[in-house]
Structure 1
């Protein structure tokens, strides 16, 4: 655990160093064809295919760390979006980044073609290789047989060798394809791949848009893979994917599909307001299906939704007073809930978790949650610099009111973001390792080691900070 920083200069040095370390560690999760994972008890020997992205490249088997040797659609989209940022900042060379992007597209398209019946036909009697104790964790064969057509895109994760996950899990999940649309589209717009890579990207976007359009009304599991229902995160990224996809198709003359997608996006946008609870004073993360269990409505997932959807201004962006209030409620929740936030010196910004009463592993703080709070402030600072956010009174909790001008608001937001980065620094290993969680009492890193999403979240937060500073100087980000 690192000591908190006392001076801005030392924080700046640490952030730049950690940016490079996180870049290297995140990249170590991509196309790890050199690794072999034996999933003991299930008779599985897994060699990742080129283009696959591991949630964590550290091999584990709930011993005690969780087995994250999977290619999640959600996580992989977040990592590809961070890969774009690394290319933009020249942290990695453009040819290397494009090669990884092309491999990812090819692997993703292969997954799109998977079919449950074909998988079972080729897998032989795989159940015979499963030890008796582990049979309880297998998916029913009928579940696998039912996977056909675009049903495959409702799968949250795959084995990294490109095969269907045979284990019981929370299915379906509908945010992954929408998030992938946004990541792939932004990559193409920013990096400008050649015609062959663009053709791959176009095919994947069309498939993901079709799935998103067909399924956006259907209930699915949330990003924590715990509750079936209607979720703010899923709906917001679906809304943005269909909007951006509709505009893209419109520019290419596909008017009928473009109109349908844009109409659906507007319908989703109208429904997003249902998540706001004025009596509670925050945007609820979910509207759960009947009988789905206890709801966890005040949830960092709402903040991550705004960051990943990427709206610069307006409703459901960092400029939305409802989301600003929600972040404030979350900060207050975790400031009181976690011992590390009440006993550790210099904890000027709280370590952030997921929701109240979380019981997964330490049930504590998450690096991507705390980094998400930092990034929200940095994006809000950029919105101020670009003239999208004017009302300082929405940020009264950081000592501002309506009498403060844009300069004071920008500086205050940047400072708050830096305080969250300081909190992250306090629990980051000297070698730059970022796990999934750090314990709410001891601060020790826990759960999956070197989570690729944690490193991607650092890259994204740091890049947002840099863009805010450039915007303030009148330099195009």
Structure 2
């Protein structure tokens, strides 16, 4: 041992630090952390993946090609810098970028005097660039950092959720950018009116069919455009599209849960994915509530959500994640994945049976809890019926539970999920996935959508209202409906 080492260890001993511990990092106090305050930090982490004229990145797949302002990369991971991951995420996905822009618009970031919010102005500019370059259709899902189409699939939820993001950003744009946003939205709507009844590639980019998620987001988009007060033109066919999608979503019910991908012309509830692949229940049904038009009070949605939670949290389930057993002793979780037959962990060359939990899936489910609690507070009733009773039972809510206590139980369940995400984070940095056994982060690091989903959930958590004393004492069954 040299003299420097001797002094170091002597100092640690005098400070009462056991030598055997070695170098230690402070632990995140996940149970004590205020989630709303933490969100202010996570948005800064998310913004590292959003480019501007002062923050430019080079395309790792194309040396000498640089990002245009407003590009939102899915993650800074690509095979050369992420061992064990063979996927390149340094691209702009239309959906991911829109979800990110929605959170930027909701964050209350500084506005340039006499102009608007710089990041949102850049986002509109890049959205227009990609729309102009889109090929073969305006549903093209993925673009390079310079706004050129990457060979990829057509995903018709993209133009819809992009339009929703532009509508939310609209008040924070300057006059010239507002005009551009109106043009992008009107072009998107024109395209969607010719596409909404057709099959599309789904949220997870694995199958083509009639997507519950895409239909839900398209429905929300059409409704929002029809109600807009920004001078955006409303095509005569929009009301017809709204009515058609409202009916079409019901075709996904198979009597037990919503099916994520229907086979065209096969009838209601018939999946295009063979049952043995384990594609249902699929977490994108919950995402359809977060980003689309499915209400949190839909008891068919809640029946689906109950199955989703149990398949990863119930030790008797074949899809059970062992980390959820350990987390239960900590009072957090469970962590949730995409679907029971998942095999993707960032490395498509080496599939893993059962997959792993995802941060965004867990956060979306937490947001469902918060949204439902808010609806219960507002309406003074709990949507407890034969379809939803398993969902409520998972959080300890029965027909005897008061309405106030039901809302508290739902928010507590959401908090437990978000705290699990924070507990397993790398000092608050969020990857795409967590190992289903150890809980350590997996797959690509710093996934933009992981941050955005956490921020969205926290917004839903903090937007609730208090119940009046008159309603608070009523039981869930007395105030709710029974089918």
TM-score interval, normalised by the smaller of the two chains: 0.7 to 0.9
Q: How does 1:124-203 map to 2 (within 5 A)?
A: 147=136, 151=137, 153-165=138-150, 167=151, 169=152, 171-188=153-170, 191-203=171-183
1:379 aligns with: 371
Q: Distance in 1 between matches of 2:198 and 2:380?
A: 34
Post-superposition Cα deviations, 1:275-302, rounded to whole Å, max 9, x if no partner, equal: 1121xx2111111459965351210000
Q: Is the contact between residue 380 and residue 403 of structure 2 (CA under 8 Å) also seen in structure 1? A: no
Q: Secondary structure at the match of 2:143?
A: strand
- More displaced 10-residue stretch of structure 1: 54-63 or 20-29: 54-63
1:124 aligns with: none
2:110 aligns with: 93
2:203 aligns with: 223
2:280 pairs with 1:283: no
1:342 aligns with: 325
Q: Is the contact between residue 121 and residue 173 of structure 2 (CA under 8 Å) also seen in structure 1? A: no
1:422 is matched with which residue: 409, 419, 424?
419
Q: Is the contact between residue 230 and residue 287 of structure 1 (CA under 8 Å) also seen in structure 2? A: yes
1:451 is matched with which residue: 447, 458, 468?
447
1:321 is matched with which residue: 267, 277, 299?
299
Answer with 1 or 2: which has the greater Rg.
2
2:88 aligns with: 67
Q: How much does 1:412 deviate?
A: 1.2
Q: Distance in 2 between matches of 1:201 and 1:115?
A: 16
2:245 is matched with which residue: 268, 271, 283?
268
Q: Which structure would you say has the larger RCO, counting Cα contacts within 8 Å and 6 or more residues apart?
A: 1
Going from structure 1 to structure 2, the CA distance change for 1:51 and 1:6 (only over 3 Å counts) comes to closer
Q: Secondary structure at the match of 2:168?
A: helix
Post-superposition Cα deviations, 1:96-147, rounded to whole Å, max 9, x if no partner, equal: 971111111111111121266xxxxxxxxxxxxxxxxxxxxxxxxxxxxxx3
1:241 aligns with: 221
Runs of 4+ aligned structure 1 residues displaced above 6 Å come to 1-6
Q: How much does 1:419 deviate?
A: 1.3
Q: Is the contact between residue 48 and residue 160 of structure 1 (CA under 8 Å) also seen in structure 2? A: yes
Q: Is the contact between residue 367 and residue 436 of structure 1 (CA under 8 Å) also seen in structure 2? A: yes
Which of the pair is proportionally richer in helix? 1
Q: How much does 1:164 deviate?
A: 1.8
Residue ranges of structure 1 left out of the alignment (5+ in a row): 117-146
2:103 is matched with which residue: 82, 88, 92?
82
Q: Distance in 2 between matches of 1:37 and 1:372?
A: 30
Q: Secondary structure at the match of 1:94?
A: coil
Going from structure 1 to structure 2, the CA distance change for 1:226 and 1:86 (only over 3 Å counts) comes to same
Post-superposition Cα deviations, 1:293-324, rounded to whole Å, max 9, x if no partner, equal: 53512100000111012x5xxxx210111111
1:365 aligns with: 357
Q: Secondary structure at the match of 2:210?
A: strand
Q: Distance in 1 between matches of 2:134 and 2:463?
A: 43
- More displaced 10-residue stretch of structure 1: 69-78 or 322-331: 322-331
Q: Distance in 2 between matches of 1:176 and 1:286?
A: 17
Going from structure 1 to structure 2, the CA distance change for 1:450 and 1:413 (only over 3 Å counts) comes to same
Going from structure 1 to structure 2, the CA distance change for 1:263 and 1:104 (only over 3 Å counts) comes to same
TM-score (norm 1): 0.80
Q: Is the contact between residue 323 and residue 436 of structure 2 (CA under 8 Å) also seen in structure 1? A: yes
Q: How does 1:118-129 map to 2 (within 5 A)?
A: none
Post-superposition Cα deviations, 1:148-168, rounded to whole Å, max 9, x if no partner, equal: xxx1x2211000111121x4x
- More displaced 10-residue stretch of structure 1: 382-391 or 221-230: 382-391
Question: What number of residue pairs does the alignment pair up?
Answer: 412
Q: Distance in 1 between matches of 2:146 and 2:333?
A: 41
Post-superposition Cα deviations, 1:376-416, rounded to whole Å, max 9, x if no partner, equal: 11111111122175335542332222333321121111111
Q: Secondary structure at the match of 1:95?
A: coil
Q: Distance in 2 between matches of 1:86 and 1:417?
A: 21
1:21 aligns with: 41
1:30 aligns with: 50
Q: Is the contact between residue 70 and residue 158 of structure 1 (CA under 8 Å) also seen in structure 2? A: yes
Q: How much does 1:192 deviate?
A: 4.5
Q: How much does 1:273 deviate?
A: 0.4
Q: Secondary structure at the match of 2:463?
A: helix
Q: How much does 1:247 deviate?
A: 2.8
Q: Distance in 2 between matches of 1:199 and 1:2?
A: 49
Q: Is the contact between residue 134 and residue 148 of structure 2 (CA under 8 Å) also seen in structure 1? A: no
CA RMSD of aligned residues (A): 2.7
1:391 is matched with which residue: 383, 390, 407?
383
Q: How much does 1:218 deviate?
A: 1.4
Q: Secondary structure at the match of 1:161?
A: coil
Q: Is the contact between residue 186 and residue 232 of structure 2 (CA under 8 Å) also seen in structure 1? A: no
Q: Is the contact between residue 258 and residue 300 of structure 2 (CA under 8 Å) also seen in structure 1? A: yes
Q: Is the contact between residue 353 and residue 364 of structure 1 (CA under 8 Å) also seen in structure 2? A: yes
Q: Secondary structure at the match of 1:282?
A: coil
Going from structure 1 to structure 2, the CA distance change for 1:154 and 1:388 (only over 3 Å counts) comes to farther
Post-superposition Cα deviations, 1:254-282, rounded to whole Å, max 9, x if no partner, equal: 56x1x31121111111010011121xx21
